[in-house]
Amino acid sequence: MFNHLRHKIIFITMATTTAVLILAGIFIMLFSSGMRPEPKPLPESTITTIEIDTQNSTRKFSSLELNDYIETDRKEGDTRLLITLLGVSVIIEIIVFIITYYLSEKIVAPVKSSYDKQKLFIANASHELKTPLAVIEANMEALDVKKDDEKWKNNIETEITHANKLVLSLLKLAKMDAGDLKKTPPEKFDLNSEIKKHIAIFSPKFSGKITFKPSAKKSYTMPKQDILQVLDILLDNATKYGDQKIEITLSQNTLSISNDGTEIKKSDLNKIFDRFYQTDKTKEGSGLGLAIAKAICEQNGWDISCNSSNHLTAFTITF
């Protein structure tokens, strides 16, 4: 990620330098041509003499020959100026590249250090929280609560479940960032059937209608665990934000999940996969689901995108 940032800094700097040098070169060439007066052609009958120092002699030129000599000299001067400008530009480009290459490393270093510390903190905090949550959950199950107080116990268990999901999500992201998460091996399976099973799981959570357009392709070869986890995240997101309908479409190379409801603002679309980002803070969730989905897709070389228009929001995975 930080190498990509460095490359971006270098590319922008070099592109800007090149553009400035090209514009400066064009300006110099136009300025030099504009400042040089055009010679007035002499009458053909005029005979002009010029002294050549190297031979200590005098040669006579006709006006036509003199005009040709001047024009040739002008062209040679323009060529020499152009070559000089190109040479200077190349030298400047090399110097700017070397300076930018070393400076970009120093610019990115504090950001990388801060990011690494943040990753370490999240990983450590997640590990530290996992044990006490497991203990609280175990003790809650062992408690003998009166029937009238059952709702309080249920509320606590619900929040513990939510906290456990958050901790597991943070751990997964920390492992992905550290590169410690092993890639799931691909396997051949019927994705149409798996999607139908997951629709059956999520249908009770959604008051509207969920429709599925299966693919003509019978079997897919890919990491099954990964694609089903992404499917669960997108289905969970659709059931939270959808109003009346959810449409799932599977083709040979894409999986699309769309829902009706409030559109996502264009300014928010580029943030939708950011960690802890939520378009609606009133909805239940941690804001990590879509970040995990994107990380899983990138790990497998898939592309995931979001489009929102005409009160429809669609997430599309391209295999």
Which parts of 219-316 fold into alpha helices (H)? 224-241, 266-269, 289-300
Fold of the CATH domain 113-178? Helix Hairpins (1.10.287)
Question: What percent of the chain shows pLDDT beyond 90?
Answer: 6
* Assigned architecture for domain 187-318: 2-Layer Sandwich (3.30)
pLDDT of residue 256: 92
Tell how far CA 234 is from the center of its chain: 20
In this prediction, the residues of the chain whose per-residue pLDDT falls under 50 are 46-47, 51-54
Residue from 170, 190, 74 nearest 119 by CA: 170
Distance CA(81)–CA(84), nearest Å, equals 5
Residue 153 has which token pair? 């116990």
Residues in contact with 217: Cβ distance below 8 Å, sequence separation at least 6, in sequence order: 251, 252
The whole-angstrom separation of Cα 96 and Cα 129 is: 49
Residue-range domain boundaries for the chain: 2-111, 113-178, 187-318
CA angle 294, 297, 299 (to 5 degrees): 110
Helix (H) or strand (E) holding 58: strand 57-62
Task: Supply φ then ψ for residue 52, to 5 degrees.
Answer: -105, 110
pLDDT per position as a tens digit, 104-158:
888 878 777 776 766 666 666 666 666 676 777 677 666 666 776 677 777 777 7
Residue 303's pLDDT is 92
Q: What pLDDT does 52 receive?
A: 45
Q: What is the pLDDT of residue 131?
A: 67
Q: Taking Cα atoms as reference points, which of 199, 194, 140, 147 lies closest to residue 164?
A: 140
In whole angstroms, how far apart are CA 54 and each of 49, 58, 76, 110? Answer: 15, 11, 21, 66
The pLDDT value recorded for residue 200 is 87
List the one residue out of 57, 276, 58, 273 whose CA is nearest residue 166: 276
pLDDT tens per residue across span 52-63 = 444 555 555 555
